[in-house]
Amino acid sequence: MSVVRDYIKLHFIVWIWGFTAILGLLISIPSVELVFYRTLIAFITLGLLLLYGRKDFRLGVFPVLKILGTGVLIAAHWILFFAAARVSNASVCLAGMATCSLWTSFLEPMITKRKIKMFEVGLGMIVIVGLYVIFRFEFDHALGLTMAVISAFLAALFSVINGQFTQRHNPYMITFYEMIGACAGTAAFFPIYTTWFSGGQLKLVPTGLDWLYIIVLAVICTVYAYSVWVELMKRLSAFLINLTVNLEPVYGIILALLIFGEKEKMQPGFYLGTLIILASVLSYPAFNKYYKRKAMSG
């Protein structure tokens, strides 16, 4: 029964992450200002929780600098993620984000110095076919899809880097310093942003329900979801977790259709391309497991 409860929790966390693109559309302030508030509230909340748990914040100067730098990558990923949803829609954004797992399969060998597996290259080619199909039928959304794919690349990059950090440091402490780095990196980007992108203005005053949505985004989608995620990693297999996370775009697109209706409806070619990408992504763990068994047996 506890396994079933953990599995339900896992799907709930993935559903929450699928909801983030929708929250980004519901919040009125621009993507850069949104990421600033999300990371600010997240690191303050995490800091208070760590203080309450009497955790030691000392990790060493160089490790902290590396983690802060990774936080800047996270900020860039989130800015592009929310901007992609706004210049296109949530469905296009999530379709681009579906490439994250396969970006990871290429980046991990480069960073960890392991051999590239040919089946990963093959699956990567299938993802490119899926993206081509989407671009062909939804060229009006080309900018949003491109931004989402770059965002997925950055997500894959910091995930691989985080995998190395978690071998040496507390995951919650890593997230705390990454949120500080993300918040500081976003603030440091403000002068460039106001000069070249926002017409010389910052919109740092949320209106209406913005504060509620931002708090949900920071506390529920960031702090809570990550905490439960780390807890589940202790009990569920990596294979099961990775397979379930790949359903995030599916849940997100379904939620977007339910909430935004006609605005999210796309041509059949979009769904065909998304299906091709998801088929490639979802088949990755099965191929990986098969080749691991083959290598062990022979």
In tens, the pLDDT along 99-141 reads: 887 787 788 788 877 777 777 778 778 888 888 888 787 778 8
Confidence of residue 236 (pLDDT cuts 50, 70, 90): confident
Percent over 70 (pLDDT), the chain: 96
Helix (H) or strand (E) holding 243: helix 238-245
What mean pLDDT, rounded, does the chain reach?
86
**How many C-beta atoms lie closer than 10 Å to residue 174's C-beta?**
20
Confidence of residue 238 (pLDDT cuts 50, 70, 90): low
Give whole-number Cα distances, 41 to 214, 255, 290, in Å.
Answer: 9, 25, 43
Confidence of residue 147 (pLDDT cuts 50, 70, 90): very high
Q: What's the longest Cα–Cα distance across the chain?
A: 63
Cα distance between the two ends of the chain = 37
The two three-digit tokens of residue 31, written as one number:
């993507």
Q: For residue 88, what is the DSSP state?
A: S
Q: Which of 4-8, 29-33, 212-216, 233-237 has the lowest mean pLDDT?
A: 233-237
Give whole-number Cα distances, 147 to 48, 98, 246, in Å.
Answer: 34, 13, 19
Residue pLDDT, tens place only, 251-273: 888 888 888 887 777 788 888 88
Dihedral angle over CA of 161, 164, 170, 176, nearest 10: -10
Residue pLDDT, tens place only, 53-98: 888 888 889 999 999 999 999 999 999 999 999 998 888 898 888 8
Please tell me whether the overall predicted TM-score, pTM, comes out greater than 0.75 for this model. yes
CB 246 within 8 A of CB 100: no
Q: Among residues 83, 98, 131, which one has the least CA distance to residue 250?
A: 98
Helix (H) or strand (E) holding 284: helix 268-297
pLDDT recorded at residue 65:
95
- Structural domain boundaries of the chain? 2-297
Confidence of residue 1 (pLDDT cuts 50, 70, 90): low
pLDDT recorded at residue 176:
92
Q: Among residues 86, 10, 14, 74, which one has the least CA distance to residue 38?
A: 74
| 148 has a pLDDT exceeding 90 | yes
pLDDT recorded at residue 58:
86
